[in-house]
Structure 1
Amino acid sequence: MLHLTPAVTIYILTLSALFGLVSGSFANCCAWRMAHGESAAKGRSHCVACGHTLSPRELIPVISWVVQKGRCRHCGAPVSIRYPLTEGFTAIAFVLIVLRYDVTLNTLQFWILTAVLLTIALVDLETGYIPDSLVLGIALDFTVVTALRGGPFWSLWLKGVFNAAAVALPLLGLVLLMDRVLGRESMGGGDIKLFFAIGLFSHWSCNLFTLLLSCFLGIAFALIFRGVCTEDGEGAFPFGPAIAAAAFLSILAAEPAVQAYLSLF
């Protein structure tokens, strides 16, 4: 953190971690509900096995899972370890973002983006589908924070659209060509929409970095989780988690990585 005392820095990082834990828990809840046809905005949190409505002490991120030894207090059914893992990951992610961008609108913007990307990854991992509502949420995040920055809103907004389209449109053309050559779908429409949405936030060169990184991560995930398949039973590992992971890493490292590469020439 820049120009802050150690005490204030620790305070801000602690708050960031706590906010990340809560955001990760909320993303987990939204992802499960969307994957199972429930409303993400209505209803109380409940055990997925017995339907027991969870009390506040059963909803404390990470701690509740540890205290209850990974089981529902009401029926004893196991609670997936994905909950504390994603909550802990989000806490770390939020701390890394505030260390990278300090206390700025960029931090707020990328906190929201990270939480939505996590939700998208979890839904896609379980269903093989990326909800349009979450992709629109990313675009709304960009639009609202752009408005909060002040300055020429439409100029900044159109600049974001140009940077997104500079990578997403050629990708769409390539995918359509591959679909025709292969006689089957080579990439889901949701993946292309997601590439466009996350492309709003960065320069086109950083978006190209995200695209390339997502391809490498997609191959790695497919090899590591070869036994995981989507609901259609085809054994294909969804691409959404790789795109989400690449986008998050790009938040932290795309700009310096691109600058370091260009400095070689």
Structure 2
Amino acid sequence: MLHLTPAVTAYILTLSALLGLVLGSFSNCAAWRMAHGESVAKGRSHCGACGHTLSPRELIPVVSWALQKGRCRHCGAPVSVRYPLTEGFTALAFLLIVLRYDVTLDTLQFWILTLLLLAIALVDLDTGYIPDSLVLGILLDFAVVTALRGGPFWRLWLEGIFNGAAVALPLLGLVLIMDRVLGRESMGGGDIKLIFAVGLFFHWSCNLFTLLLACLLGIAFALIFRSVRTEDGEGAFPFGPAIAAAAFLSILAAEPVVQAYLSLF
């Protein structure tokens, strides 16, 4: 956008923010449905408390929640503040990504990745489980957009697999050792799958940065979220949100941060 007029730039940024609001609302809704065993593709949006089908004016991102004072118009049940927060976050995320990568395929790829990461974080917070379908969505995002770029598709795919495996495989080995030492699961398989999938998009050195950042964020999130209840009733630490947050920050800053670090030597 550096070569566009101010009016066109403002138009693109406004459109990006509005698109983020709408798609953030969809991602939030999809995550809620997955966490509650409902179909993502079928059925109208409804109140989680009374089942009332929401009208179009009740589905305006952020605005509807504010006008209804955070409550369902039909039954008066409180509507979680997570809805406007995630919608607002996605709008900001879309803005930051388009400012970072301009109007390119990188922006499209990272917009999709951000939506999937948001859904993964929300489902993991609610259930302690990362759906394989969402991880598969990340793999498809990488594959499809890489194909759209043209050039040596298979070489780019193999590079992505190497970059993801360079971090995920050693981590898997460490986790298996820790499982044996502790006599219990030290990290969920979904977390390792997610680290591999996210690693497709970045150089292996940036993936190390993502993993380190995820560990630091995980410690911080542990103090906030403590634990969630899994289907078997045991407490589990939701590491997915930390990985998702670290991956999003890596989209914006991993490459310059790693380059700045390496320049010290």
Q: TM-score surpassing 0.5? A: yes
Deviation (angstroms), 1:235: 4.4
1:153 is matched with: 153
1:74 is matched with: 74
Amino acid at match of 1:229: V
Distance 2:215 2:73 in 1: 41
Amino acid at match of 2:188: G
Is the 1:97–1:252 contact (alpha carbons within 8 Å) kept by the matching residues of 2?
yes
Is the 2:163–2:199 contact (alpha carbons within 8 Å) kept by the matching residues of 1?
yes
Q: Deviations over 1:176-219 (max 9, x none)?
A: 01111111100000000000000000100001100000000000
Q: What is the aligned residue count?
A: 264
Distance 2:229 2:196 in 1: 23
Distance 2:48 2:223 in 1: 30
Q: Deviations over 1:143-181 (max 9, x none)?
A: 000000000111111111111111111110110011111
Amino acid at match of 2:151: G
Q: Deviations over 1:84-124 (max 9, x none)?
A: 00000000000000000000000000000000000000000
- Aligned-residue sequence identity (percent) comes to 87
Distance 2:237 2:18 in 1: 32
Unpaired runs of at least 5, structure 2 = none
Q: Deviations over 1:226-248 (max 9, x none)?
A: 3x533455444300000000000
SS of 2:228's equivalent?
coil
Residue 230 (1) aligns with residue 224 (2)? no
Amino acid at match of 1:101: Y
Residue 9 (1) aligns with residue 9 (2)? yes
Deviation (angstroms), 1:8: 1.0
2:191 is matched with: 191
1:22 is matched with: 22
Distance 2:238 2:219 in 1: 11
1:262 is matched with: 262
Is the 1:161–1:200 contact (alpha carbons within 8 Å) kept by the matching residues of 2?
yes
Residue 244 (1) aligns with residue 244 (2)? yes
Q: Deviations over 1:5-51 (max 9, x none)?
A: 11111110100000000111001110000000001111110000111
Residue 124 (1) aligns with residue 120 (2)? no
Distance 1:30 1:115 in 2: 10
Distance 2:87 2:224 in 1: 22
C-alpha RMSD of the superposition: 1.0
Distance 1:248 1:230 in 2: 26
Amino acid at match of 1:79: V
Distance 1:260 1:235 in 2: 40
1:42 is matched with: 42
1:176 is matched with: 176
Is the 1:164–1:198 contact (alpha carbons within 8 Å) kept by the matching residues of 2?
yes
Distance 1:76 1:150 in 2: 53
Is the 1:125–1:230 contact (alpha carbons within 8 Å) kept by the matching residues of 2?
no
SS of 2:187's equivalent?
coil
Matches within 5 A, 1:89-108: 89-108=89-108
Unpaired runs of at least 5, structure 1 = none
Is the 2:135–2:194 contact (alpha carbons within 8 Å) kept by the matching residues of 1?
yes
Distance 1:132 1:264 in 2: 40
Amino acid at match of 1:230: R
TM-score, length basis structure 1: 0.98
